[in-house]
Structure 1
Amino acid sequence: MARFTPRRPNAQLKRNTKKAVARKSRDRAVTPSVDTAAAKPLASTRPLRRGAVANVAVMTLAVGIVGTLAIPAYAFAPGSNLPQFGTSAETELTKAQAQSVEVADDVIAAPVTKDGFEAVTAAEIEAAAEAKRQAEAAEAARVAAEAEMASYAASYDGPSAGDFLANPAYPSYDLGSVYNVATQYIGTPYVYGGATPAGFDCSGFVMYVFAQFGIGMPHSSAGQGAMGTRISEADAQPGDLVIMDGHDGFYAGNGMILHAPYEGASVRVQPIWTSDYYIVRIGI
């Protein structure tokens, strides 16, 4: 068996090793030592490191908050696997079944009321406004008529109906004479409440004419109609009375009427414009 003899390093290998060691020593001598301050990381890199640390802290805090928010779920509604939480009376109520309540019959039968609502149309609003305008116009006309009446009364100084009743101008009475006296006042203006030739309303005109024959009448168309006897239109003669609802005048023959019509008009003869009337004769 051959004997192993270790080989010695040759002279060239030794020389190379010595040169490498010498070169390394020279490099250390030439290269200045690194200052401790220079070894520290640059200032620009410090915020990055601090930011990373801050991010870790925020993530840790967020995980803690999420874990905390999950805790009340067990406090309010503990599960069966958490025996450390006791069941409250409120929790037991949430698990209760549907309950039945008995109500007395008088309560069940109690009437129920509710508010009603009706929409108003534009036409209804306009109609209401028109009715208001008409009412205001009528009131204005009434006030004007009263003022006109006061003016006419102040301007008239002749005999009144009362004067004629005390001393009748025509002691004898007949229908023809009544109608003839009535025609003398054609053209006299209508005045609300008027009963003299200064101005007449419908019943004031009839009252003033009959007063001249010594016949007293109320200042009312309904009252005057009640004084006479109702006759047929076929028997009517000029001088009889035409009675309507709220209005009257003298029958003028041939379906005509002599009357004081309305505010703004004068005593005149015209056709009877309605069938809703009847004839009354005074003195029989």
Structure 2
Amino acid sequence: MTKMKVSFLGLGVMGYPMAGHLVSAGFDVTVFNRTTQKAKQWVEKYGAKLALSPSEAAKDADVVLMCVGDDNDVRTVAKEAIAAMNEGALLIDHTTASATVAKEIDRVCKDHGLGFLDAPVSGGQAGAENGQLTVMVGGTERDYIKAKPLFDAYSRHSQLLGECGSGQLAKMMNQICIAGIVQGLAEALHFGQKAGLDCNAVIDVISKGAAQSWQMENRAQTMLNNSYEFGFAVDWMRKDLSIALDEARRNGSTLALTALVDQYYADVQKMGGNRWDTSSLLTRLK
């Protein structure tokens, strides 16, 4: 399996280390990035091949992976890649995007004799760098089996959840959960500070019980230190929540808390916190 020719399109904070893990796992990797200088830096570090366009990267690849910005980026990059891919190849999109665009790309891939998986990831920049991501996958079992050795290179868990679009819907659920958990943690820390408690000591206790969460374990201390430079930016979270809220309007679900926290993130943006990480919800309470 490690002889598969793999192309990775998009070397942002997630794609850069993910593509590196594929090289370390022994895959034959070619990369493309819109900013060529960044791609050159990646090649200097990992020693794989550089392409100057999505079509050049996708040509003769067995699997093409994408991790770009939003729906429009997915459409643009996928269009170029699909036109160059050989029949029977597999396209995988790791972008957090809409289920609608996932289904669009799936239809186009089928028309060209290609496989497609929507496979957004969770775990943040640290998860990508440490090869500890979680991959939520929509598509066919056959394509998932083909992709799993690649997922194993940079994830601790991947799972096929249903037909195409299911991965993106699962990622929406993930972001809905995170929004509520971070707001709850922010309010708890704000409450504790106002009550005059040693919040570090309290977190040490309650993190051993039912209140424990990844956010508490990894962000409570940095929130208390007023430090918000840990990768997943408020701008990106608002993009993700917008996707979830749009989908909720289509499927008739009620996301009252998610809509409220989305507006709280808008408050953080007004404070200049566009690039602060998502735990910066605490700042609007101070």
Instruction: Please give the TM-score of this superposition, normalised by the length of structure 2.
Output: 0.20
More helix as a share of residues = 2
Which structure carries more relative contact order (alpha carbon 8 Å, separation 6+)? Answer: 2
Structure index of larger Rg: 1
